[in-house]
Amino acid sequence: MTEKEKMLNQMLYDANYDKGLLKEREIAKDLCYEFNQARPSETEKQAVVLRKLLGKTGESFCITAPFWCDYGYNIELGENFYANHNLVILDGAKITFGDNVFIAPNCGFYTAGHPIDSDRRNQGLEYAYSITVGNNVWIGAGVHVMPGVNIGSNVVIGGGSVVVKDIPDNCVAVGNPCKVVRPITDKDKETCFDR
């Protein structure tokens, strides 16, 4: 089994020394660089680069530079996806975003992790667990989503949160570690912001 096959099957794999994976990351980083160097007014050029880089996109999507990822082909964007500045996606495993997902600045989605024991970690081994984000989700500024997390639909993740466990549908969740603080209700249609 190749290191890439191990990576895609959520097994420990050699991320640091495997020539095939190193080359794939180099190609993705070059495309990220090309995207990030385009002028903000060059939206068509940016879209072409992202469609070349990413595994799947909807018809309508926008990522505001700078943006970085590891492979690109493991990232799937739903319709009306928007990400603000400084999005980082470590996509050793699949990351799927539903429709109408809004991501604030300085957020990260990390499928990659390392063994706790230093012997295996120092060998360059890591794992990658998939992340899924449902439909109609707003991710606040500075949120970090860890390996293997599923975020439901109709969810708001408060700014600065570190999401280490699954978040169910129809709720507001916040904190480090991120926890559900309340459901989203019809009363939320009466105000823009609830402290």
Are the CB atoms for 3 and 16 separated by under 8 Å? no
Choose the catalytic residue: 106, 114, 135, 168.
114
194 vs 13: CA distance, rounded Å = 44
To the query of whether residue 114 is one of the catalytic residues in this protein, the response is yes
> Which residues are catalytically annotated?
114
